[in-house]
């Protein structure tokens, strides 16, 4: 089974007392198949001789939720947060998570549990850790609910995605274009406007991916890959724009050779090229932050081409084919051969020692 790959985070908070909290992300999330079911309690009465019964509605009944997963020390750094647990808050180990869950269970305190738009209130009634070895533990947890929040909540673990700097840089780029001097030739002006529009189109694509990520939890890897691809396309279009701004002779760029007109045109070309470079840098930073927010602890998010295996990806990103199983584990795969077009997260190597992992096939 794989982790809740489309969930941004799972947050468990104490409603009172010391107000401790546990936030699970990425590799610390439970496996898929978590159920938040419920039913309506009723009382049906049949009367003798009457073909129809009466039914009394007694109110909703929330079914307990069971979760299970696996915590491995090598995958846990930056994958969870503990707050209010004192000595455990700064740790990033499976043992720290186990002890935090055991303290929550032992307290019996009311909890608020949020996964995306599902919010339940209840208590942690069961928590069973099964140690595979000191650094790896399989776990099971059962929550018993007494209430559900029906209003649409803020996404659990929501981090505002970095669109403000992109908006500012895009606006400055557009403003620089509007300052085009009147002496610029019509053909050159049309050519530069076309280049700027191409850059603006890719910036718009990035804004669209940010918006979609803020409003849905579906297919985050595809959203990340799309945003990274749009940022790379923006970079290529901006480089082309800067090339046309700086490499075209001024005789082609303007309709007159008067000294002041030449200075005016050259200053505008320089300012527009500078704003294009600034927008490129901002777009690349935005895409990297986008990736870190949606896929914490990742080195890259890639779409597998038709002729590449996990061993080749491992060689490309880690320098050795022997670490392919780390990529497989991060994506819930069991084989080194992957179908073309699959989007994969490339995790950061937890330690140099993992570069000599054992081959499983």
Per-block mean pLDDT, blocks of 10 residues, the chain (361 long) = 54 82 88 86 87 85 93 90 88 94 93 85 95 94 87 44 77 88 86 92 88 62 84 92 86 78 87 92 86 76 83 88 87 83 81 41 35
Query: Does 234 map to a domain?
Result: yes
| Boundary residue ending a domain (277, 294, 311) | 294
Question: Rg of the Cα trace of the chain?
Answer: 28
Has residue 5 been placed in a domain?
A: no
pLDDT of residue 141: 96
C-alpha span between 200 and 211 (Å, rounded): 16
| Residues 91 and 193 reside in one and the same domain | no
Residue 70 is encoded by which pair of tokens? Answer: 């696996």
Q: Is residue 157 part of a domain?
A: no
The candidate with the shortest Cα–Cα distance to 114, out of 223, 3, 25, is 25
The reported pLDDT for the residue numbered 159 is 44
Count Cβ atoms within 10 A of the Cβ of residue 154 and give its class: 0-12 exposed, 13-18 middle, 19 or more buried: exposed
Residues 289 and 163 sit within 8 Å (Cβ to Cβ): no
Q: Specify the pLDDT at position 17.
A: 67
In a domain, 62, yes or no: yes
Check whether residue 172 and residue 281 sit in a common domain.
yes
Predicted model pTM: 0.50
* Same domain, residue pair 284 and 310: no
Domains held by the chain: number: 3
Judgement on whether residues 334 and 209 belong to the same structural domain of the protein:
no
Round to whole Å and give the CA distance between 171 and 174.
Answer: 5
Residues 139 and 26 in one domain: yes
- Domain annotation covers residue 2: no
* Beta bridge partner(s), residue 112: 13, 121
The answer to whether position 3 is within a domain reads: no
Nearest to 211 by CA among 160, 137, 268: 160
Taking the chain, what is the end-to-end CA distance rounded to the nearest angstrom? 19
Examine the domain organization and report whether 123 and 235 are in the same domain: no
- Domain boundary, last residue among 279, 294, 309: 294
99 with 206, same domain: the answer is no
Is 124 within the bounds of a domain?
yes
Whole-number Å distance between alpha carbons of 171 and 22? 40
Tell me which residue range forms the domain holding 138: 10-148
**How far from 92 is each of 71, 79, 96, 97, 243, CA to CA, in Å?**
11, 8, 7, 8, 47
Residues 76 and 24 in one domain: yes
Task: Examine the fold and report which residue of 260, 278, 294 is the final residue of a domain before the chain moves on.
Answer: 294
For residues 187 and 288, state if they share a domain. yes
Which residue, 23, 7, 27, 9, is CA-closest to 82? 23
Domain-located, residue 114: yes
Q: Are residues 139 and 187 in the same domain?
A: no
For residues 286 and 321, membership in a common domain is answered with no
Q: Is 283 found in the same domain as 323? A: no
């Amino acid at each position: 089974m794989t982790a809740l790959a489309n969930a941004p985070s799972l947050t468990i908070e104490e409603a009172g007392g010391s107000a401790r909290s546990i936030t699970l992300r990425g590799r610390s999330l439970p496996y898929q198949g978590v159920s938040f079911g419920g039913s309506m309690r009723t009382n049906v009465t049949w009367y003798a001789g009457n073909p129809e019964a009466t039914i009394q509605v007694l109110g909703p009944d929330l079914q307990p939720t069971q979760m299970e997963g696996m915590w491995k020390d090598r995958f846990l750094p930056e994958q969870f947060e503990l707050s209010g647990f004192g000595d455990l808050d700064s740790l990033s180990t499976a043992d720290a998570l186990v002890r935090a869950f055991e303290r929550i269970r032992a307290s019996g305190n009311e909890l608020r549990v949020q996964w995306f738009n599902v919010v339940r209130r209840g208590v942690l009634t069961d928590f069973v850790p099964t140690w595979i070895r000191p650094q790896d533990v399989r776990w099971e947890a059962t929550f018993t609910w007494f209430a559900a929040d029906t209003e649409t909540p803020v996404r659990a673990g929501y981090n505002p995605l970095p669109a403000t700097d992109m908006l500012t840089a895009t606006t400055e780029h557009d403003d620089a274009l509007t300052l085009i001097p009147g002496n610029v030739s019509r053909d050159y002006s049309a050519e530069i406007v076309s280049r700027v529009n191409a850059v603006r189109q890719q910036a718009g694509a990035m804004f669209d991916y940010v918006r979609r990520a803020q409003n849905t939890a579906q297919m985050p890897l595809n959203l990340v890959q799309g945003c990274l691809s749009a940022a790379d396309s923006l970079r290529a279009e901006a480089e082309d724009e800067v090339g046309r701004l700086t490499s075209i002779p001024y005789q082609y760029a303007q309709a007159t050779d008067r000294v002041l007109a030449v200075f005016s045109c050259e200053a505008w070309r320089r300012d527009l090229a500078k704003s294009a470079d600034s927008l490129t840098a901002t777009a690349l930073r935005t895409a990297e932050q986008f990736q870190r927010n949606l896929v914490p602890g990742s080195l890259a998010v890639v779409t597998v081409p038709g002729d590449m295996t996990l061993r080749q990806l491992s060689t490309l990103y880690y320098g050795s084919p022997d670490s392919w199983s780390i990529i497989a584990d991060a994506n819930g795969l069991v084989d080194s051969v992957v179908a073309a077009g699959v989007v994969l997260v490339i995790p950061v190597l937890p330690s140099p020692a993992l570069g000599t992992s054992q081959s499983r096939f």
